[in-house]
Amino acid sequence: MPVADARSLPDATRIEGDIVIIGGGIAGLSIAHELAGTNARVVLLESGGPEPDREIQSLYDGGCVISGPGNRDWNFTEYLGTSRVRALGGSGHVWGGKCGPLDAIDFAERSWRPLSGWPFGRAELKPWYDRACDRLRLPRFPADDGLPEGQALEPVTDHQGPLRSSPRAYSPVSGRADPAAFAAFRDAPGRAENIHIHTHANVTGIRLKPDGAVDHLEVRCLTGTRHVACGRLYILATGGIENARLMLASNADRPEGVGNATGWVGRCFQGHCTISTADADPRGDAEVAFTTDRDLSLYDNQPRDRAHAVFVLSPEAQQGLGVGNCTLTLSLRPKAAAAAGSTRAAVEQTASAIEGPVPRRLDYFFMSEEAPNPDSRITLSERTDALGQPQAHLEWRYTQTDWDSLTGSAAGFARALGAQGLGRLCWPVEPETLIAAFGPSRHHMGTTRMSVDPAKGVVDADCRVHDTPNLYIAGSSVFPTSGLVNPTLTLTALAIRLADHLKNQLGIAR
């Protein structure tokens, strides 16, 4: 059906469907793709239009403070407004397309990582990972942590050693890299007879029946018109910040908000922060001095037409160090000569003396998984947006556990590189400068976490809200732990898996 602009509907229009999807980003559209051509009437409500708009984007404005032990707080007020896109296609408009599956250890319950563990493992998710790769036009990844199909370049790591190679690949479904491929993905569901997309439709409230099920959605347009949306099943797919914000703000029927009987909505926010050594270390001392003459082309993350890899520590190494997952991504650009007497020069001299060959000196950026922290959370601000809705406020709090994991992981990489005879790592970033060195990503995870036990999360293994029987959540907000790969492939796999579940629930057929 043609995409409809909700602003053109008569006031108080009743929008009805079997399934109502709130949000037209990658997750919501992936579900719509799977339901297209079936006998289910699907309604998709998107706040924005086909392209980003400044007035609509301002509905994302809110507060953000990043804090951690021994570091100065960072009042990152622009983060909520700039780290996502409020338009049909969501942040796919600016997403670069990098993808990879979570590592097997990311799904595991790790005794040294509180609140870790998914209700299922990577092997169980493999069929949906494969379909997500097909949808995003990627090579399929193997069931283990190996390289994807068609990869000819050889890793320099030993698959049995502490240093491993974790694969990444670029999807062309990226508004930044391939606008035509992205537009094709974004627009295809709207051409299906059973998919009804309404743009400029802002869901401002989830209203409940006395038994706790969703009764209807309150919808508003910036022009002032109001509508109601009704369905049998509802899917909330507005992102890791907005999912929590809408659930907390929908407090007309339950004061704590929707799905928040145990108080987990908004908690355990996790985002990926990179530490780029070129930026974090103004002295220029941070680098990897490679003394191997082996080909490092696999670790070049610039070509988009083939897979590449980053360095990770093995599960056994992570457990031995008591750290979370971590990655080291190389920059293969040549570096200027080290200044005489610098730390970097000393590292190179040591590497040459021990390993022999003249070292290849490379910059890198480093990432370390943050532990789920209930105090790192989304709450509601007293400030309101143009629709009268409370803005979101993010308290992004790191703990000493995160600092220990980060510095322990850096030491683990240094030892693993040396043990394998690859080279030496220089890591001069001081603990009190970590937040200043962070480059926060657009990845928002964990705020409606998945758990088998309703007392420990918001949704079950099928992404259904524990105490709201006809409400489901799609997107990376359901991740119990974040791993260290861009979340798009995993959230797409989960969205396809959820679509299959809904087909069974409603007896949907093509």
> Per residue in 287-307, pLDDT tens?
888 888 889 999 999 999 999
Domains of the chain and CATH, by start: 4-506 (3.50.50.60)
Share of the chain above pLDDT 70, in %: 93
Whole-number pLDDT of residue 411: 94
Task: Report whether pLDDT(250) > 50.
Answer: yes
> Per residue in 312-326, pLDDT tens?
999 999 999 999 999
Task: Report whether pLDDT(283) > 90.
Answer: no
Whole-number pLDDT of residue 349: 65
Task: Report whether pLDDT(428) > 60.
Answer: yes
Here the tokens at position 303 are 């070509």
> HEC profile for 152-183?
CCCCCCCCCCCEEEEEEEECCCCCCCCHHHHH
pLDDT band at 2 (very low <50, low <70, confident <90, very high): confident
Q: What is the DSSP letter of 487?
A: T
Comparing 109 with 366, the larger pLDDT belongs to 109
Residues 6+ apart with CB under 8 A from 422: 156, 163, 290, 291, 292
Whole-number pLDDT of residue 369: 95
Whole-number pLDDT of residue 282: 46
Comparing 1 with 361, the larger pLDDT belongs to 361
Residue type, 466: H
Whole-number pLDDT of residue 284: 54
The three-class DSSP label of residue 343 is helix
Share of the chain above pLDDT 90, in %: 80
Q: What is the mean pLDDT of residues 210-229?
A: 98
Q: Which burial class, exposed, middle or buried, applies to 402 when counting CB atoms under 10 A from its CB (0-12, 13-18, 19+)?
A: buried
Residue 367 pairs with which residues in a beta bridge?
274, 327
Report pTM.
0.95
Whether residue 36 contacts residue 195, with contact meaning beta carbons closer than 8 Å, is answered with yes
